[in-house]
Amino acid sequence: MKVIIVILISLFMAFNTQAQTKPKFNIKIVSKDGHTTRGLLYAVGEKEIIVLKHEKDTLKINFKEMKHLYVKRRGIILPLILAGAATFVIVATQSTNPLLQVVNIIAGVPIGVAVGALVGQLFANKRFYRHIEVTDFQEIRADLQKYTQVKMELN
């Protein structure tokens, strides 16, 4: 029993430290020619944004090529959806009436999912930059730097 507890604590600590090193923000970049690039926001340089695609490939996109930028926090919506659905499942299991249990599961779970998705979207820390020009990046670069995994010195 003690060995299992030690293994579980070790696994918890390993996954906890691994989760802290993962990028926390997704980025969607629409270029002026209409091409859309999605990935993880890694760093913001002097003249480009570095995006991780599939956590292996890095892509440098020059500020001159960008038309729209969308930044969104990762991994906050799904836990809230699951919590909303689980709330109605717990309510259904506490009920003694079988008909009320079925109604809570059939009608309540979709409502819980919808409410969880709505609350998750509200807490997703979204940032939109639309119709941006090259001159705008001097102003928004410091703001974008807050969402990067690697912090670079800004002049």
- Relative to beta strand 48-53, strand 66-73 is unpaired
Question: Whose structure tokens read 């340089």?
Answer: 45
pLDDT, one tens digit per residue, over 2-54 is 677 777 677 667 666 655 556 678 889 999 898 998 888 888 888 888 888 87
Identify the band that residue 136 occupies on the pLDDT scale cut at 50, 70 and 90. confident
pTM, two decimals, is: 0.63
Question: Do 60 and 50 form a contact (C-beta atoms < 8 A)?
Answer: yes
Domain range holding 60? 23-74+124-155
81 within a domain of the structure (yes/no):
yes
Helix 77-94 × helix 109-122 angle, to 10°:
150
SS3 155: coil
Structural domain count, the chain: 2
In sequence order, the 6+-apart residues with CB closer than 8 A to the CB of 85 are: 109, 112, 113, 116
Number of H helices, E strands in the chain: 5, 6
Mean pLDDT score across all residues of the chain: 81
State how far Cα 49 lies from the chain centre. 18
Same domain, 113 and 42: no
In a domain, 5, yes or no: no
pLDDT score recorded for residue 43: 83
- The reply to whether 67 and 139 lie within a common domain is yes
User: In terms of domains, do 63 and 33 share one?
Assistant: yes
Look up residue 101 and give its DSSP letter: H
